[in-house]
Structure 1
Amino acid sequence: MIYPYFKIDKKIQEAAQEAARKIAPVLERIEEITDYNQQKMMAAFNAAGVSESHFAASTGYGYGDRGRDALDQVYATAFGAEDALVRHNFVSGTHALTVALFGVLRPGDTMLSVTGIPYDTLGGVIGITGDGNGSLKEFGVRYEQVELKADGTPDYEEIEKRVNPGIRMVYIQRSRGYSLRPSLFVEDIERIAKIAKKKAPGCIVMVDNCYGEFVQTVEPVGRGADLMAGSLIKNPGGGVAPTGGYIAGRKDLVESCSYRLTTPGTGREIGATLGNNRELFMGAFHAPHVTGEALKTASFTAALFSLFGYEVTPKYDEPRADIIQAVLLRREEALIAFCKGVQKGAPVDSFVTPEPWDMPGYDCKVIMAAGAFTLGASIELSADAPLREPYAAWMQGGLNYHSGRLGAMLAAQSMLEQGILGK
């Protein structure tokens, strides 16, 4: 590897070469998964009969938008779901999750999170943080949770004790979020779903699938989950979708979610696409490949920083359930330097210096490095973290492995220049 355009110390270049050698077998495994998922996506496009006419814009109410309906079919087929609701006007993954929660839960229902407390931004949605205005709690939905075990894995015995016929929803967060617990494989979700259906046959098993799409060859709704949701500016948008989100799963549940998104009675039949269809179709097509590139970047980052003595999770050769790579940097200044280096490796706003700030929805300052073509896109190379112990950087994305690898090296270079690499 030659780096004539960037200042990268020889020590880091040599470590990068060693990291590349170590992950060679890992990249082969990732390629196998990517190849399978790309074939699956191609088959989904073929089954939906996608044509250029599906890219046409609709306005007003959006009645009869063939492209919108075909896009739903593509995602449903690729995810192995009965149905899907894919819209550019889901403003975030949290929004898609919120629509799904309000779409299927009713006053008096109980939601049981079996993976501990959900991601920070859902606290206000549920009503466990914030002023409760507009939350599930305000609408009379009860919330309970089962804590993870000390090693961060699901407590299956406790889940079996807590699930009963009075539980309407068993909620699972697949990704680790801002924690160091392991992300969940589809097999883990399938095990939870079997317990839930045994103890409460009528319950809804819902999965926050953010960061997990196309990491394995099957999705949660293909292995027992009833409903899942996520963001199109993460894995399933392929780095092309400019915004949006999806809900996928059982047909009747997706229909209920569509009534929450628009209005009861009209549901998915309305909603102008305003010319966004082409980018959403293209993003879906690229999603399996781009997800594979992000996984390669994560594996390289883990190998590189472990060579400098940092604890990483997952390790470079561990199987992965999502695209997130955590690097435990131990010190606040190391975390900030890491993020500044990642920013320098961005194609957009590389000259910007990220600084910690009070971000809405979080309980402490957060630093984010993300020089992306789509603002906040986590499938593009980014690194972010709350400024609190253990000062870990959560890195994800990389539209292609080559630029992602360079970003990881520049993160190390930034730390080296501050005299804190490996300390």
Structure 2
Amino acid sequence: MLEIYKRMLKERFNICDEVIKMSQKALDDISDIIKEIDEIKEYNQSKVLYAMQQERLSDAHFTNTTGYGYGDIGRDTLDRVYSRVFCCEDSLVRPHIVSGTHAITLALSGNLRPNETLLSITGKPYDTLLQVIGIEGENNGSLKEFGIKYKQIELLENGKIDINSVVDAIKNDESIKMVTIQRSTGYGWRPALQIDDIKEAILAVKAIKEDIICFVDNCYGEFIDILEPTEVGADIIAGSLIKNIGGGIAPTGGYVCGKKKYVEQAAYRLTAPGLGKECGSTFGVIRHIFQGLFLAPHITSEALKSSIFCSRLMEIAGFEVSPKYNEKRSDIIQAIKFNNEKDLINFCKGIQKGSPVDSFVECEPWDMPGYTDQVIMAAGAFIQGSSIELSADAPIRPPYIAYLQGGLTFEHAKIGIMIGLSNVLNNK
């Protein structure tokens, strides 16, 4: 590290000497892993490039429709490009989908009917889905209110899917219509599910009952591997454009991809039965979504490198982390266990201080819509709430785990993470 750069880190960002020294060791330790990430990035970049070329993408597709949006060639071409990228029959990619939770809700509510059962085989879903399903909250508009039942199977102690219990559950309950798999860690303390894990579970489900819908929550997982869940048997997947696949450019939106009949049902929930994908103006954001997709393999690799750096740095500093820097990953999330509220909050505040936007703001825990615990969110981002930009958030509950993700550039993320750690150590 250049001496002039070290002085800058100390003088401008208040990063202590101890953290600078630890960061250099962390960089040395992860150097070989970064090379592997670059190989995956190149493969996925070629996949996206080919999809756009095959659909003859042109500036004529960067449309700005209004009203009903009938015949929006940009919107329809975007769907086809996504279908090629995910190797599936159909896709629904829209700026009208406000979040990953919204995209998942469309997939679930569009394809489940009263008296059918949704079976989660990865334990309790992410916090914002609890009210969607009807596990918590007042059940206004939840699946439960519409007579859709819910069951869950916990993961094994090693974080793998309990295949035997899944098979037993399906054999003993004919009402199970959909199996849902959460690929990412979410607000848990477990490794993200590998593509091979997902494939094994889907094969086991289909061997028992072919017509059970296998749904995968793909948030934070796009372009981490050379395969996506739809390439190993998933019937339908969903995610957010302000995470990996938006490349830090898409200003909003989400996607649902998979088999045509299931995507169509999700589209009927987004608009109305009979309308589906045929309408919905795109407000001039289609170019941003296309460009974000093109950049996504590179941006995702930057975020992944950032999480690995964070894992090693925080481990050197004495904190427990999941996953460890040298473990195979399937999402961009890095969990750090602080075991006390003060250090957790100071780390998140440090990430906020290291942001390019709103670095002067002090983030605080607050009652956030969709969450039952107070949540602190550090997200000084160009796109509000973007998880592909450097951010850290945490529910304020024991054992006080921070979840870091994102980084449009590895160089910025390193600085932000170093500031986060320094803010913990300087406030001991």
3-state SS in 1 of match to 2:103:
helix
Superposition pairs of residues 347-366 of structure 1, within 5 angstroms: 347-366=356-375
Deviations 1:162-194 (CA, angstroms, capped at 9, x unpaired): 123432101111111111022111111111101
What's the counterpart of residue 396 of structure 1?
405
Q: Which of the residues 38, 46, 49 maps onto 2:45?
A: 38
Identity of aligned residues (%): 52
Superposition pairs of residues 68-107 of structure 1, within 5 angstroms: 68-107=75-114
1:380 is the counterpart of 2:389: yes
**RMSD (Å) for aligned C-alpha atoms:** 1.0
What's the counterpart of residue 136 of structure 2?
129
Q: Which of the residues 299, 304, 312 maps onto 1:295?
A: 304
3-state SS in 2 of match to 1:80:
coil
Tell me by how many angstroms 1:150 deviates. 2.7
Tell me by how many angstroms 1:378 deviates. 0.5
3-state SS in 1 of match to 2:143:
coil
What's the counterpart of residue 278 of structure 1?
287
Distance 1:127 1:328 in 2: 29
What's the counterpart of residue 22 of structure 1?
29
Q: Is the 8 A contact 1:172 1:208 kept in 2?
A: yes
Superposition pairs of residues 20-419 of structure 1, within 5 angstroms: 20-164=27-171, 165-419=174-428
- TM-score after normalising by structure 2: 0.96
What's the counterpart of residue 6 of structure 1?
13
Q: Please list every run of 5 or more consecutive structure 1 residues that lacks an aligned counterpart in the other structure.
A: none
Code of the residue aligned with 2:37 in structure 1: it is I
Deviations 1:128-181 (CA, angstroms, capped at 9, x unpaired): 111111111111111111111233321111111112343210111111111102
Deviations 1:295-321 (CA, angstroms, capped at 9, x unpaired): 000010011111111111111111101
Code of the residue aligned with 1:83 in structure 2: it is D
State the 4+ residue runs in structure 1 displaced beyond 6 angstroms. Answer: none
Code of the residue aligned with 1:335 in structure 2: it is L
Code of the residue aligned with 1:286 in structure 2: it is L
Distance 1:339 1:130 in 2: 27
Distance 2:102 2:217 in 1: 11
Q: Is the 8 A contact 1:12 1:412 kept in 2?
A: yes
Distance 2:227 2:121 in 1: 21
3-state SS in 1 of match to 2:233:
coil
Q: Is the 8 A contact 2:190 2:323 kept in 1?
A: no
Q: Is the 8 A contact 1:382 1:397 kept in 2?
A: yes
3-state SS in 2 of match to 1:168:
strand
Distance 1:415 1:102 in 2: 43
Q: Is the 8 A contact 1:341 1:414 kept in 2?
A: yes
Distance 1:241 1:172 in 2: 26
| Range moving further from structure 2, 147-156 or 229-238 | 147-156
Code of the residue aligned with 1:163 in structure 2: it is I
Q: Is the 8 A contact 2:66 2:281 kept in 1?
A: yes
Q: Is the 8 A contact 1:383 1:395 kept in 2?
A: yes
3-state SS in 2 of match to 1:320:
coil
Q: Is the 8 A contact 1:167 1:200 kept in 2?
A: no
Q: Is the 8 A contact 2:219 2:238 kept in 1?
A: yes
Distance 2:195 2:267 in 1: 26
Distance 2:224 2:165 in 1: 28
Deviations 1:247-298 (CA, angstroms, capped at 9, x unpaired): 0000111111111111111210111111111111111111111100000000
Q: Is the 8 A contact 1:113 1:172 kept in 2?
A: yes
Q: Is the 8 A contact 1:166 1:200 kept in 2?
A: no
Tell me by how many angstroms 1:76 deviates. 1.1
Distance 1:265 1:360 in 2: 31
Q: Please list every run of 5 or more consecutive structure 2 residues that lacks an aligned counterpart in the other structure.
A: none
Distance 1:166 1:132 in 2: 21
Code of the residue aligned with 2:22 in structure 1: it is A
3-state SS in 1 of match to 2:151:
strand
3-state SS in 2 of match to 1:170:
strand
Distance 1:348 1:11 in 2: 26
Q: Is the 8 A contact 2:115 2:175 kept in 1?
A: no
Q: Is the 8 A contact 2:247 2:294 kept in 1?
A: yes
Distance 2:74 2:409 in 1: 28
Q: Is the 8 A contact 1:113 1:146 kept in 2?
A: yes
